[in-house]
C-alpha cells in the first residue's frame, strides 16, 4: 500500500479551510528567510501558497545572506510583539554566521508553529505537546489516516535531528510504540532496522534503505530529500526495491513533504486560537 501524503494533505487542507473560515480568527503566519538558497526559497513559497489556500494571511521577511545573529533576533523580537502575527517560521538552515540555537530560542513559544523551541520540545517529551514539529506530526497524521496502529508496535527512527528524529521518537512514544532511535554510531544498524514494524528513515542519503533492512510487511516512512544520479528528487528509501516487501510505504515526492506543509497550516490555526485565549485550546 502506498501512503499518499499528497492526497491526505489535500483533504486536511480542505477541512482546515472550512474551520478557519468558521472561526473568523483570520490567522497570520510570518516566515523569515535569511539568504537566497533556491531550495529554501521554494519551500517558503510553497508555505505561502498553502496559507493562501486555507485562508491564512502571510508575510514573508527576507534578510540578506550576510545578516548577523542580532539582526535576525531583532526581526523575531518585532514579530513576537506584533499582535497581528500568530505564527513565526524561521526557515532552516540559517547561514553559518547566524547562531541557530539563539534564534530558535528567541521565538515566542506561543508563536512557535515549527515546534523547535525547547519549551515546546519539552512539552512534547513530557507527553503534553502544544506545537509538535511539522514533519513528525505530519507523519503521525498519515499513520492515523491509514489506521496504522502504533500501540505496542516496534518503531525504529533512523536519525536524531531536532526537527525530525528526536520529536518523531517522542510522538511515537506518546502513541504507545516501543521506540528505538538509531544514528551514525549505532552498532548493527541493519538488524535494528529489520526489527521495526514502523521504520522511519531521516538520514539524508539517496537509496540508503534496501529490502534486506526492512521486515516483511513493515510500514516504511521516508523523510529523505535527496537527488539521485540523474538529479531527480528521491528519498532515503530505494522505493522500487522496497515497495513489495513493505506493507505500507510513503513515496518521495508525494509522501511526507506535503504532510509537513499541511501540519504547519494546522499549527498556525492553533496559534491563532491560542491568541484569543480560547479555553478549549490547551497551552
Ligand atoms: N523552519 C523550518 N521548517 C520546516 O518545516 C522546514 C525547514 N525549516 N527547512 C527545510 C525543511 C524541508 N521542508 C519541506 C517541506 C515540504 C516539502 C514538500 O512538500 N516536498 C514535495 C516535493 C517538492 C519538490 O518538488 O521538490 C514532496 O515531497 O512531494 C519538502 C520539504 C520543510 N522544512
Q: What is the CATH number of the domain that holds 91?
A: 3.40.50.10860
Helix axis angle, 5-23 to 134-145, nearest 10°: 100
Look up residue 123 and give its DSSP letter. H
pLDDT band for position 276 (cuts 50, 70, 90) = confident
Using the 3D structure, point to which of 44, 76, 111 is the last residue of a domain: 111
Query: Does residue 178 lie in a domain region?
Result: yes
Query: Does residue 4 lie in a domain region?
Result: no
Residues 75, 143 within the same domain: no
pTM metric for this prediction? 0.97
Residues 238, 162 within the same domain: yes
Residues 71, 172 within the same domain: no
Distance CA 209, CA 198 (A): 13
- Cell 547561514 maps to which residue? 95
**Number of compact structural domains in the chain:** 2
Distance CA 77, CA 143 (A): 36
Average pLDDT over all residues of the chain = 97
Residues 104, 142 within the same domain: no
Query: Does residue 94 lie in a domain region?
Result: yes
Ligand-binding annotation for 88, yes or no, is no
Cβ–ligand 1 contact at 134 (below 6 Å): yes
Residues 92, 159 within the same domain: no
Q: Three-state SS for 236?
A: coil
Look up residue 95 and give its DSSP letter. P
Which domain, by its residues, includes 32? Answer: 24-111
What is the tens place of the pLDDT at every residue in 165-175? Answer: 999 999 999 99
Residues 41, 152 within the same domain: no
Query: Does residue 167 lie in a domain region?
Result: yes
Query: Does residue 116 lie in a domain region?
Result: no
Q: Cα(23) to centroid of ligand 1, in Å?
A: 28
Residues 139, 223 within the same domain: yes
Residue 242 pLDDT > 80: yes
Residue 279 pLDDT > 60: no
Residues 103, 41 within the same domain: yes
- Ligand 1 atom closest to the Cα of residue 254 is 29
Query: Does residue 103 lie in a domain region?
Result: yes
Query: Does residue 101 lie in a domain region?
Result: yes
Nearest CA to ligand 1 atom 11: 92
Distance CA 252, CA 209 (A): 13
Q: What is the CATH number of the domain that holds 204?
A: 3.40.50.720
Give me the catalytic one of 4, 47, 112, 153.
47
Ligand-binding annotation for 159, yes or no, is yes
Residue 283 pLDDT > 80: no
Distances (CA, A) of 258 to 30, 71, 108, 157, 262: 19, 31, 26, 20, 6
Give me the catalytic one of 4, 86, 91, 236.
91
- For residue 115, the model assigns a pLDDT of 98
| Mean pLDDT along residues 20-26 | 97
Predicted complex: ipTM over 0.90: yes
Residues 82, 179 within the same domain: no
Query: Does residue 122 lie in a domain region?
Result: no
Give me the catalytic one of 4, 86, 112, 114.
114
Residues 97, 149 within the same domain: no
Residues 76, 183 within the same domain: no
Q: Is 91 a catalytic residue?
A: yes
Ligand-binding annotation for 161, yes or no, is yes
Distance CA 54, CA 13 (A): 6
Three-point CA angle 32, 142, 125, nearest 5°: 65
Amino acid at each position: 500500500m502506498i501512503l499518499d501524503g499528497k492526497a491526505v494533505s489535500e483533504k486536511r487542507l480542505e477541512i482546515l479551510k472550512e474551520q478557519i473560515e468558521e472561526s473568523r480568527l483570520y490567522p497570520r503566519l510570518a516566515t523569515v528567510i535569511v539568504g537566497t538558497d533556491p531550495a529554501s526559497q521554494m519551500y517558503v513559497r510553497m508555505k505561502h501558497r498553502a496559507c493562501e489556500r486555507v485562508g491564512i494571511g502571510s508575510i514573508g521577511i527576507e534578510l540578506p545572506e550576510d545578516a548577523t545573529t542580532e539582526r535576525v533576533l531583532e526581526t523575531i523580537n518585532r514579530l513576537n510583539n506584533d499582535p497581528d502575527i500568530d505564527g513565526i517560521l524561521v526557515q532552516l538552515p540559517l547561514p553559518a554566521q547566524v547562531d541557530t540555537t539563539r534564534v530558535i530560542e528567541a521565538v515566542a513559544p506561543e508563536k512557535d508553529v515549527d515546534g523547535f523551541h525547547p519549551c515546546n520540545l519539552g512539552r512534547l517529551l513530557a507527553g503534553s505537546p502544544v506545537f509538535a514539529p511539522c514533519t513528525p506530526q505530519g507523519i503521525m497524521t498519515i499513520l492515523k489516516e491509514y489506521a496504522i496502529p502504533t500501540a505496542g508496535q516496534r518503531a525504529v527512527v533512523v536519525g536524531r535531528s531536532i526537527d525530525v528524529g528526536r520529536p518523531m521518537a517522542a510522538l511515537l512514544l506518546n502513541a504507545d510504540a516501543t521506540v528505538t532511535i538509531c544514528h551514525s554510531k549505532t552498532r548493527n544498524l541493519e538488524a535494528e532496522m529489520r526489527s521495526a514494524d514502523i521504520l522511519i528513515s531521516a538520514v539524508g542519503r539517496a537509496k540508503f534503505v534496501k529490502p534486506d533492512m526492512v521486515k516483511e510487511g513493515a510500514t516504511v516512512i521516508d523523510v529523505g530529500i535527496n537527488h539521485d544520479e540523474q538529479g531527480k528528487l528521491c528519498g532515503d528509501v530505494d522505493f522500487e526495491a522496497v515497495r513489495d516487501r513493505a506493507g505500507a510505504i510513503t513515496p518521495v515526492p508525494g509522501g511526507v513533504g506535503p504532510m509537513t506543509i499541511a501540519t504547519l497550516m494546522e499549527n498556525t490555526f492553533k496559534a491563532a486560537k491560542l491568541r484569543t485565549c480560547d479555553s478549549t485550546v490547551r497551552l
